[in-house]
Chain A
Amino acid sequence: MNNIVVENQSLKDRFSGLWEKSGMLVVFIGIFMLLSVSVPYFFSLRNMVGLGLSITTLGMLASTMLFALAAADLDLSIGSTIAFTGVLTALLINSTGNIYIGIIGGILAGGLVGWVNGFVIANLELNPLITTLATMQIVRGLAFIISGGRAVGVTEAAFFGLGNGSILGIPNPIWITIVIFSIFGVLLNNTAYGKNVLAIGGNKEAARLAGINVKKTKNLIFILQGLVAGFAGVILASRMTSGQPNAAQGFELNAISACVLGGVSLTGGVATIGGVVVGVMIMGTLQNAMNLMNIPTFYQYVVRGLILLIAVYMDKMKQKKK
């Protein structure tokens, strides 16, 4: 392009640049303020803690789903993984009497599911949608099988501290989610791994020819996702004091929605941790508000779906302007 620069950038152009960078954050702040004044009890300490608690699982999943989407893949199996590892953890604790074996076993089981996903998607190069659809079914089936189709109550009460305890008045799951967001944020922004994931999503062949080990990177994405899903399953089981085989149904779709709301491009190569945090908060806040307003669950499904459509549409408009 030539070097002639138009001197007076119009107000409209400056505004649209700002919108691109932090549009969603503005939307979130707007929604938050609106709800604070219109919905009773919304802006109370108790509700804020409850809100934070409600988005912990979503937050943990979204922080790793970000990587899968950034690499132009996706993972539909994490909901099933959460249920499976919850049940497995409960069974392990009950049979060994040792909560640590249960916790580590659950996390590793999640990692195993992730490893399988990674192998099939990266090494066998099968379509990620179909692959994770399959593992989603398989793992959910395994959850029902090993649990005998019923919730598995955990007998060691020490286990419940993990999900229900709190430090400095803030529940453990919230701390854990903050730590996980921080870890994955650093991975995305400050490591070669993060940049490589974005490169692969942006142009897989160019990334390969530039010397990136695409297979290894993708394997790592799914293994990490599995480990975090496993951990999320452990925490959920702790909060519910039992492993439940039908838990977390549809969680993967929520995680994907939160990422898309947060500006992650489904075609790969574009993702920020800040955006995903905002996406998670928007979804969590709206859900929380709907609960406070006693809107029946079924309507909440409709609202969630509409929000996702709006987010994708706004993303499209953003792309078009480029």
Chain B
Amino acid sequence: MAHYLEFKNITKEFPGVKALDSVSFSVDKGSVHGLLGENGAGKSTLLKTLSGVHQPTGGEIYIDGQKKVFNSTRDSLDAGVSIIYQELNLVPEMTVSENLMLGHLPKKNPFIDKKKLREIAERKIEELAEDIDPNTKIKDLSIGQRQMIEIGKALLQNSRIIAFDEPTSSLSQREVEHLFEIIRGLKKQGYAIIYISHRMEEIFELCDSVTVLRDGQKIETFNNMEEVTHDLLVKRMVGREITDIYGYEPREQGEVIFEVDDIYGEGLSEKVNFSVAAGEIVGFFGLVGAGRSELLKLVYGAKPVESGKVKVHGKEVKVDSPSAAIKGGVSLLPEDRKDEGIIPVRSVNENINISCRRHILKSNLFLDKEKEQENTEYYIDKLGIKTPSGEQLIGNLSGGNQQKAILARWLSEKIDIFLMDEPTRGIDVGAKYEIYKIMYQLAKEGKGVVFVSSDLPEVLGVADRVIVMRDGKVIGSLSREEANDEKVLSMALPTK
């Protein structure tokens, strides 16, 4: 049987870098094909050749037996391709209906046919089994709902090929299941679906076949999922064995160095108390909306605290701004790298040195550029940040390397307490492991590490202690020995 979508020897070169090297695989109608690979493996670049953002420097794309050349995203859309990106392409201030038909609104020339628009929107929303008023503005929807609208948009464009790029990173469990139902439905309707994810469980649950990329090359395509195991995929992705993906080793803990006393503010429903000892890694688990990110931001002075105290090494730290927290020895690795972490148009060097200048200034006024350069090179080497140089714009680095650069930012400062909000989100297995190693190293040095994660196995695998939040308050705390899936989930899920 002829394949509906075929990539034949796709190569893409940029100045100095070969992002894709003769990649070939195919996707059939009515099937889900997974695309797996570490950050920088070429998955996003491959999608961009399909969507017309990039033109391949070699190789061809065939759709339904016809060779296709996409000189623009319009060409790709016209050929029936829709991509659902991690960063959704919706207009926040416009309504659901308007976004669904953006670009081809039904007209009663010269006006918009509002009645028809509403009908189309209601029908699509129903198909997607969602309960949304078409007049709601996008900015008032949850991420999961927005994603559904993005899918609706794709369906209304008469696509035959839909590609998902890391769709589940910001979704709750329920939303993930709903997404899967929709994808299975699309499969039955005969769409050719590409599914990119780092989460192995999802690949196994959804995909009929999977292709593994590494360093721009196709390593292997598996057409029979029965033959595939988790370890085999990891091995292909990473090129080496990773036996224990969390690498946890117990270590000694010292006295309490971080105390959060009766902290209360926006996003919390009750006062929160917890403490962290030197050498301890505390993991906060909870569903989306449980208040974990808000708690970290309050404790870091990024959001105004209504009451409560924060103490580092027994001394109170007035957290009325991030710079006060930093001076007190507390840092935050924010949840959203792109919007809260990196300055994309500035260099890696500047992004790393941005917070620690009070320690490396010449005569308290001028930049010490040599020291900053040394600092950058030290961390590029120590953390294994993949970048051509410190002067590279950080926006050009992969997610995992950007995250490492932000960690380097805090390692450059005198920090005792490392707060991390979803430190390994959107990062591949190999890079995740490197981040865990950094966390363990920090703890071994006597620092305190507090991390928020929605990945339950990760929390159970990395933390010395698990604190569970729900609905803006702390429900309880479990030691590593006590904690397991059931106990944690039962605390995190709303009681019906």
B1-17, CB < 8 A from A: 13, 15-17
Contact A210 B354, beta carbon cutoff 8 Å? yes
Interface residues in B, total, Cβ within 8 A = 44
Shortest beta-carbon distance, A272 to chain B, in Å? Answer: 13
Contact A269 B346, beta carbon cutoff 8 Å? yes
A196 to B17 CA separation, bound complex (whole angstroms): 31
A247 to B189 CA separation, bound complex (whole angstroms): 70
Knowing A2-B40, A2-B216, A213-B321 touch, does A13 contact B343 (C-beta < 8 A)? Answer: no
A191 to B366 CA separation, bound complex (whole angstroms): 5
Contact B344 A203, beta carbon cutoff 8 Å? yes
- Assess whether A207 is interfacial by the CB under 8 Å rule: yes
Chain A residues engaging chain B, CB cutoff 8 angstroms:
1-6, 9, 13, 17, 189-192, 195-196, 198-199, 202-203, 205-213, 265, 269-270, 322
Contact A2 B354, beta carbon cutoff 8 Å? no
Contact of B346 among A2, A189, A192, A199 (CB under 8 A): A199
- Assess whether B342 is interfacial by the CB under 8 Å rule: yes
Contact of A208 among B42, B322, B393 (CB under 8 A): B322
CB neighbours of A211 from chain B (8 A): 322-323, 325-326, 354-355
Knowing A191-B367, A202-B343, A205-B339 touch, does A2 contact B19 (C-beta < 8 A)? Answer: yes
Contact A269 B321, beta carbon cutoff 8 Å? no
Contact B341 A206, beta carbon cutoff 8 Å? yes
Shortest beta-carbon distance, A227 to chain B, in Å? Answer: 19
Contact B302 A208, beta carbon cutoff 8 Å? yes
Nearest A residue to B332, CB-CB: A209
CB neighbours of A5 from chain B (8 A): 16-17
CB neighbours of B398 from chain A (8 A): 1
Nearest B residue to A14, CB-CB: B15
- Assess whether B131 is interfacial by the CB under 8 Å rule: no
Contact B386 A203, beta carbon cutoff 8 Å? no
A2 to B41 CA separation, bound complex (whole angstroms): 7
Shortest beta-carbon distance, A15 to chain B, in Å? Answer: 11
Shortest beta-carbon distance, A302 to chain B, in Å? Answer: 33
- Assess whether B18 is interfacial by the CB under 8 Å rule: yes
Contact of B343 among A3, A190, A203 (CB under 8 A): A203
Contact B350 A206, beta carbon cutoff 8 Å? no
A-B contact pairs, 19 of them (CB 8 A): A1-B19, A1-B386, A1-B397, A1-B398, A5-B17, A9-B16, A17-B15, A192-B367, A199-B343, A202-B344, A203-B343, A206-B340, A209-B322, A210-B322, A210-B409, A211-B322, A212-B323, A213-B321, A213-B323
Shortest beta-carbon distance, B111 to chain A, in Å? Answer: 31
CB neighbours of B40 from chain A (8 A): 1-2
